């Protein structure tokens, strides 16, 4: 899974250097000591002052100051390179102690990872927000440790709403369509932005599935892409939004998320689904925007989509005790908040989330993240525990856009994706 694209934090995944220098300190790791290797992803915007290198450097230095027998070496790679780098090292029998990357399921299925209960103290493991921790489980055992998270909300342009005479954010699909009709009548270029192009089709797809009580998989992990609720959702999109020309001049099947984010920042989009990075982009262009919970078929959706990046620890290094100590420190409340505050992300632990909600001294930007945080407890995640998901996601990118074309056989298309998902899932087991 390419989480950089799902989180959409910036273009830095491609822009940053392939590898930052190893981050070390002079203390620790002497004779008889242990050296931990950590590989992490770059979340910065390409500027040295915003590089994740500084965060990891601080974490490593502080940890080593408290653990004199342990040395920590960290290498930070761009999102373009980091997943492959870790996979190559594992394949060569030279796995890092810890990796902070986009997906864990393949390594867990291959028996390469240490489970959370063997690594973390009980308070640390119990502190993970339940919905996110479950997304890190394979066969009910947690191997993926969530690192950061994000949710989605409905963004709307307040100026365009006022121009169109819309008094409040829509809470249902009927209200969303009615608002889109008014926006179109007010000459808004894109009443509702629908990115079903290859960049983020799986995310937009999941949001509409959830809005009708559907989803990619059931609680037992079985793919349910062709279920009736999902078919109804895309038939509604085909007929009631795209069919009535309420999604702008472009073809949703070839429209990417970033294109619509850019258009929103230019004041050309009335509504779209967005994540926290859109706030900064809109504010940079002085766009007055509002945010609201995800509209559903008959009212507010019961849940929204959550996404997460992952931390994992590999068995072959033989440093389980030291890795556990480092991870306990990594998930301490202030350490979590230092990173999420730097990049407009959500914490994955209950204590950090509570502090963020109640912090009267929080920056205005951090306070703006609270609506996203409030949605996290009910968020649904991609079936990231399935090793087949990467291929299924690719199939969704290729085919889901065709469901909203005029006269499309939605049931047939979703059934086709379902069959391919089941075949891929069977081969992966």
What is the predicted pLDDT for the residue at 362? Answer: 66
Structural domain count of the chain = 2
Bridge partner residues of 98 (DSSP): 38, 313
Q: Which domain holds residue 342?
A: 3-151+307-380
User: How do residues 395-406 score in pLDDT, each as one tens digit?
Assistant: 999 999 999 999
What CATH number is given to the structural domain containing 98? 3.40.190.10
User: How do residues 129-140 score in pLDDT, each as one tens digit?
Assistant: 998 998 899 888
Regarding whether 62 and 184 lie in a shared domain, the answer is: no
User: How do residues 309-344 score in pLDDT, each as one tens digit?
Assistant: 999 999 988 899 999 999 999 999 999 999 998 888
Regarding whether 146 and 157 lie in a shared domain, the answer is: no
Separation CA 101–CA 147 (nearest Å): 9
Regarding whether 233 and 135 lie in a shared domain, the answer is: no
Regarding whether 134 and 163 lie in a shared domain, the answer is: no
Regarding whether 186 and 109 lie in a shared domain, the answer is: no
Regarding whether 295 and 207 lie in a shared domain, the answer is: yes
Regarding whether 139 and 87 lie in a shared domain, the answer is: yes
Regarding whether 217 and 106 lie in a shared domain, the answer is: no
H/E stretch holding 130: helix 130-134
Q: Would the pTM of this model clear 0.75, i.e. be above it?
A: yes
Regarding whether 224 and 171 lie in a shared domain, the answer is: yes
The Cα-based distances of 414 to 218, 220, 224, 239, 367 in angstroms read 16, 20, 9, 16, 39
Last residue of a domain, one of 343, 359, 380: 380
Handedness of CA 311, 329, 112, 224 (dihedral sign): negative
Regarding whether 325 and 373 lie in a shared domain, the answer is: yes
Phi-psi region at 407: left, alpha or beta (left = phi > 0; alpha = psi -120 to 50) = left
pLDDT (average), residues 164-188: 98
Regarding whether 66 and 86 lie in a shared domain, the answer is: yes
Q: Is the pLDDT of residue 29 over 60?
A: no
Regarding whether 161 and 147 lie in a shared domain, the answer is: no
């Amino acid at each position: 899974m390419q989480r950089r694209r799902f989180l959409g934090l910036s273009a830095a995944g491609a822009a940053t250097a392939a590898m930052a220098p190893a981050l070390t300190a002079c203390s620790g790791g002497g004779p008889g000591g242990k050296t931990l290797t950590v590989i992490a992803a770059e979340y910065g915007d390409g500027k040295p002052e915003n590089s994740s290198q500084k965060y990891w450097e601080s974490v490593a230095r502080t940890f080593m100051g408290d653990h004199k027998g342990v040395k920590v070496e960290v290498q930070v790679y761009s999102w373009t390179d980091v997943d492959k780098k870790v996979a190559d090292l594992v394949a060569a029998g030279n796995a890092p102690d810890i990796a902070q990357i986009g997906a864990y399921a393949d390594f867990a299925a291959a028996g390469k990872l240490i489970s959370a209960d063997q690594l973390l103290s009980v308070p640390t493991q119990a502190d993970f927000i339940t919905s996110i921790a479950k997304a890190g489980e394979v066969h009910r055992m947690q191997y993926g440790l969530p690192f950061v998270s994000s949710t989605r909300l409905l963004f709307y342009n307040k100026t365009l709403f006022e121009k169109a005479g819309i008094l409040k954010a829509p809470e249902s699909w009927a209200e969303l369509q009615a608002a889109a009709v008014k926006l179109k009548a007010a000459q808004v270029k894109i009443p509702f932005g629908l990115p079903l192009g290859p960049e983020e089709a799986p995310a937009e797809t999941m949001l509409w599935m959830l809005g009708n009580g559907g989803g990619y998989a059931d609680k037992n992990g079985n793919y349910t892409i062709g279920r009736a609720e999902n078919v109804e959702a895309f038939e509604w999109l085909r007929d009631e939004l795209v069919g009535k020309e309420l999604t702008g001049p472009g073809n949703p099947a070839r429209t990417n998320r970033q294109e619509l984010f850019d258009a929103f920042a230019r004041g050309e989009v009335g509504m779209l689904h967005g994540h926290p990075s859109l706030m900064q982009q809109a504010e940079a262009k002085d766009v007055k925007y509002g945010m609201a919970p995800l509209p559903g078929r008959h009212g507010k959706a019961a849940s929204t989509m959550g996404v997460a990046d992952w931390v994992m620890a590999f068995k072959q290094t033989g440093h389980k005790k030291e890795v556990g100590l480092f991870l306990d420190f990594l998930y301490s409340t202030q350490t979590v908040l230092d990173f999420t505050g730097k990049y407009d992300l959500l914490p994955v632990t209950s204590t950090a989330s509570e502090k963020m909600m109640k912090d009267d001294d929080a920056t205005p930007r951090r306070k703006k993240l609270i609506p996203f945080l409030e949605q996290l407890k009910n968020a649904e995640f991609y079936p990231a525990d399935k090793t087949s998901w990467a291929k299924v996601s690719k199939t969704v990118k290729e085919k889901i856009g065709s469901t909203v074309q005029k006269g499309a056989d939605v049931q047939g298309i979703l059934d086709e994706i379902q069959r391919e998902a089941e075949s891929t899932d069977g081969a992966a087991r």
